[in-house]
């Protein structure tokens, strides 16, 4: 006599849910529905998220999933998924994993074959970029810079000649010294924008060259409070003589004194590795100045 078939349990899904970064009206209807329907919500700070859920009348249980426990506690969430229950992952604000916990849980869930479903919404870096007036077709997100000055400057040096728009998060108590380091590394004329307290009552978006932005923040202690996003325009290659090293200019000048301009530019290019067309243009400019 054959045994009756046992129905297999369909595994649950892990929903990565973005929550507001300030203005509670920014949460989506889909996010609210999922937070109500899942069996469990993995939250960065259960006390913080409890206030959000209470505001919207959501009674789904919360469990902690933060940077100190997500490696070890991931198994408890995977067990719920395996049992056929859906789980939502949220951070304190914005999109999980973006300078927030959740990476290890998402990676574990995907490795175990569970569906991981993004539920998009607020993200501070994208909100700031959308209103910054800086090039947005290509950009890089560097997250939080090192807290100590030496490490921060070293990281900034690594991206000093990065042509894409640069985006950073920074803590309010370090925002002024961060901007000062950017001014020293990138130059005071580099365009930048401070986006502070986005979507909140005292939201500020101030765009100025770095030197002026430093002065503006230093003069107003209120601008050294709250959540900060800093955007810096990408590096632009200098043109004309500024694009040629001092050594290449020295070689070019020596050759110009001994031979025709075109030949001097070609030979200087062979010696220095600088593009011939650029050296030719510089030679024309220097010859014109000497007349």
Region 112-135 average pLDDT: 97
pLDDT of residue 216: 97
Instruction: Quick: pLDDT tens for 150-199.
Output: 999 999 999 998 999 999 999 999 999 999 999 999 999 999 999 999 99
Range of the domain at 217: 125-232
Q: What's the pTM value of the predicted model, to 2 decimals?
A: 0.79
In a domain, 7, yes or no: no
Whether the per-residue pLDDT at 281 is higher than 60: the answer is yes
Region 247-263 average pLDDT: 88
Question: Which burial class, exposed, middle or buried, applies to 244 when counting CB atoms under 10 A from its CB (0-12, 13-18, 19+)?
Answer: buried
Instruction: Quick: pLDDT tens for 40-73.
Output: 999 999 999 999 999 999 999 999 998 888 777 7
The answer for residues whose C-beta is within 8 angstroms of residue 1's C-beta and 6 or more apart is none
Inter-CA distances, 138 with 133, 135, 167, 216, Å: 13, 7, 11, 28
Final residue of a domain: which of 79, 94, 122?
A: 122
Q: Which residue in the block uniquely carries the two structure tokens 């056929």?
A: 84
Position 2 confidence tier, pLDDT thresholds 50, 70, 90? low
Region 108-133 average pLDDT: 97
Whether the per-residue pLDDT at 291 is higher than 50: the answer is no
Tell whether 24 and 69 lie within a shared domain.
yes
CB contact at 8 A, 230 and 163 = no
In a domain, 52, yes or no: yes
Position 239 confidence tier, pLDDT thresholds 50, 70, 90? low
What proportion of the chain, given as a percentage, has pLDDT over 90? Answer: 75
Tell whether 245 and 221 lie within a shared domain.
no
pLDDT of residue 53: 97
Tell whether 117 and 131 lie within a shared domain.
no
Q: How many domains does the chain have?
A: 3
pLDDT of residue 98: 95
In a domain, 2, yes or no: no
Tell whether 112 and 137 lie within a shared domain.
no
Tell whether 54 and 77 lie within a shared domain.
yes
Cα dihedral 233, 234, 235, 237 sign: negative
In a domain, 246, yes or no: yes
Q: Which residue in the block uniquely carries the two structure tokens 């632009």?
A: 236
Position 9 confidence tier, pLDDT thresholds 50, 70, 90? confident
Region 33-42 average pLDDT: 98
In a domain, 245, yes or no: yes
CB contact at 8 A, 88 and 42 = yes
CA distance 174 to 170: 7
Region 206-234 average pLDDT: 97
Q: Per mean pLDDT, which range of 97-101, 240-244, 254-258 is the poorest?
A: 240-244
Tell whether 107 and 208 lie within a shared domain.
no
pLDDT of residue 5: 56
Final residue of a domain: which of 122, 155, 184?
A: 122
Whether the per-residue pLDDT at 232 is higher than 90: the answer is yes
Whether the per-residue pLDDT at 1 is higher than 60: the answer is no
pLDDT of residue 250: 87
Whether the per-residue pLDDT at 238 is higher than 80: the answer is no
Whether the per-residue pLDDT at 228 is higher than 50: the answer is yes
In a domain, 8, yes or no: no
What proportion of the chain, given as a percentage, has pLDDT over 70? Answer: 94
pLDDT of residue 107: 95
């Amino acid at each position: 006599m054959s045994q009756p078939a046992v129905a297999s349990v369909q595994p649950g899904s892990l929903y990565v849910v973005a929550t507001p970064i300030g203005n509670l009206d920014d949460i989506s209807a889909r996010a609210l529905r999922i937070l109500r329907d899942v069996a469990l919500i993995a939250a960065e700070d259960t006390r913080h998220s409890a206030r959000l859920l209470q505001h919207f009348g959501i009674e789904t249980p919360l469990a902690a999933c933060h940077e100190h426990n997500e490696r070890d506690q991931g198994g408890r969430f995977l067990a719920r998924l395996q049992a056929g229950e859906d789980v939502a992952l949220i951070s304190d604000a914005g999109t999980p994993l973006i300078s927030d916990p959740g990476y290890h849980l998402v990676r574990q869930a995907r490795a175990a074959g569970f569906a991981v479903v993004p539920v998009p919404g607020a993200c501070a870096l994208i909100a700031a970029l959308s209103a910054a007036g800086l090039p947005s077709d290509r950009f890089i997100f560097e997250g939080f810079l090192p807290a100590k000055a030496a490490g921060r400057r070293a990281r900034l040096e690594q991206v000093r000649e990065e042509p894409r728009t640069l985006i950073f998060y920074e803590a309010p108590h370090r925002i002024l010294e961060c901007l000062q380091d950017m001014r020293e590394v990138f130059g005071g004329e580099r365009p930048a924008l401070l986006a502070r307290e986005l979507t909140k009552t005292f939201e500020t978006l101030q765009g100025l060259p770095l030197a002026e932005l430093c002065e503006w923040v230093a003069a107003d202690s209120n601008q050294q409070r709250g959540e900060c996003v800093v955007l810096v325009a990408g590096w632009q290659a200098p043109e004309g003589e500024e694009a040629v090293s001092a050594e290449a200019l020295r070689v070019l000048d020596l050759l110009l004194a001994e031979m025709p301009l075109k030949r001097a530019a070609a030979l200087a290019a062979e010696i220095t590795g600088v593009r011939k067309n650029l050296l030719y243009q510089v030679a024309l400019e220097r010859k014109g100045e000497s007349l």
